Structure 1
Amino acid sequence: MNISQITVLAILTLFYGAWFFRQVTLCRRGVEGVRLGQGDKAPEVRCQERRLAAATLLLGIVQYVVALTDNALLAVCPTRAWMWVVGTVAGVVGIAYLVMALSAMQTNWRAGIDTARQTGLVQSGIYRFSRNPVFVGFALMYCGVLLILPNYLLVVLTGVALVLCHRQIVCEERYLAQRFGEEYEVYCRRTWRY
């Protein structure tokens, strides 16, 4: 196992570990944190959420498989030193974004649109700078892993996951605009989407 594989395994384990830890803590408080493809929502939104869930699950599995095996077969190119450095920084910043976002959301956090529970509009912490820091964290981690272990399969799956993340953001922003009205519009005007 080389330094690139070890780095990717560390990034993946810390990132997904933080995500799963949040799910466990929410579950212990009686909150169902993963609402992708569930609940009373439009069929196209439910379908989008199911696609996102499938793509991110598949990508996570493939990321671990690529990190644990010889990347030479499907490698786009050998990992250069600059790719390792930039990828590692992106992965670490992605972890930081995720942790700060989950911390700021507290029990308001959900994966997917939750029409069953009324939550508040979080505008504090990292949400003062980005309306979607969880997705930014995922994007940074995905791109960091791809830079460290450039692999054709990861290129395709990362691209698909990033497109689906953007589409999910659009769905969620529509819902939030309906749910919070002018408060959300004001928030959108002063805070970047990403």
Structure 2
Amino acid sequence: MEWAFVTFGIGVLAATVVLGGLLATLAVEDFRFWPPGDDDAKLRVYLVCSRGAFLSVLATGILDWNAGPLPWPGQVAGAVLFVASLAVLSKAAADLGEEETKGRAGELRTGGLYRYSRNPQNTGYLLFVWGFALLTNSPLVAGLAGAMTLWLVVQVPVEEPWLHEQYGEAYADYRRRTPRFVGYRGRGLNGDGSGDGD
């Protein structure tokens, strides 16, 4: 159990660094942590921390397996979500491409899963952490999932101005017709399909 707290602490630290960088991007003019663009140092920090957080989820789940009160049907539901997340993440990464996945400029991708969600990778990661929390029945993994949910949700509005800057009106059109995470793109706040009716 002691090692589970170590891996949990590493995960919280890594998620806090990413969330701090994202919040700094929102708060400080002329600073951008994400997307890093061509800034290799910021990309390395993001990759080390994000991968560290996800590895911490896996390690903590193994070390803290079945420490919670969840009955077995919840664990089965978690297994289904976890497996589904792997499929979503694989497809979304293939649809977006390697450079764009790293937050570098490329071409605007609107096909595949990106037809249904502007952020299928974030959606897949949310399924991953919460599915694994249920599967492992680990309160510590649930805590990590909560911390990572903050970063994965905050990341979206942080990167949208950069996407608009890179892709202009093509991104604005895509944003109007495609939901932020998942779901039906309804009439929007303005009643005509426009507006940020996410």
Equivalent in the alignment of 1:66: 61
Q: By how many angstroms is 1:108 displaced?
A: 4.3
Secondary structure at 1:131's aligned position in 2?
coil
Alignment correspondent of 2:172 = 185
Whole-Å Cα distance in 1 between the matches of residues 57 and 98 of structure 2?
30
Identical columns (%) = 27
**CA 1:99–1:71: 2 relative to 1, 3 Å:** closer
The structural deviation recorded for 1:56 is 5.0
Per-residue CA deviation, residues 32-89 of structure 1 (Å, 9 max, x unaligned), is: xxxxx8xxx843535998578525513422422431x3535xx231x42221221111
* Runs of 5+ unmatched residues, structure 2: 1-20, 37-41, 182-198
> In 1, distance between residues paired with 2:140 and 2:156?
24
1:86-125 matched pairs, under 5 angstroms: 86-111=77-102, 113-114=103-104, 118-125=105-112
Deviation at 1:129, TM superposition (A): 0.3
| Letter of the 2:92 counterpart | A
The answer for the alignment partner of 2:68 in structure 1 is: 76
Greater RCO (Cα-Cα under 8 Å, separation 6 or more): 1
| Alpha-carbon distance, 1:99 to partner | 1.2
Q: How many residues align?
A: 147
The within-5 A match list for 1:22-171 is: 42-43=30-31, 45=33, 50=45, 54=49, 56-67=51-62, 69=63, 71=65, 75-77=67-69, 79-111=70-102, 113-114=103-104, 118-171=105-158
1:133 maps to a residue whose letter is P
Q: Secondary structure at 2:114's aligned position in 1? A: helix
CA contact (8 A) 2:61 2:132 kept: no
Aligned partners of 2:81 and 2:128 also within 8 Å? yes
SS at match of 1:174: helix
Deviation at 1:144, TM superposition (A): 0.5
CA distance in 1, matches of 2:33, 2:81: 30
Which secondary structure does the structure 2 equivalent of 1:45 belong to?
Answer: coil
CA distance in 2, matches of 1:94, 1:152: 20
* Large movers: runs of 4+ above 6 Å: none
TM-score (normalised: structure 2): 0.64
1:88 alignment partner AA: A
Amino acid corresponding to residue 71 of structure 1 in structure 2:
W
Unaligned runs of 5+ in 1: 1-36
How far does residue 94 in structure 1 lie from its aligned partner after superposition?
0.7
The 3 A distance-change label for structure 1 pair 152 and 44 is: farther
Change (3 A) 1:103 1:188: same
**Matched AA of 2:127:** L
Query: Which amino acid counterpart does residue 43 of structure 1 have in structure 2?
Result: F
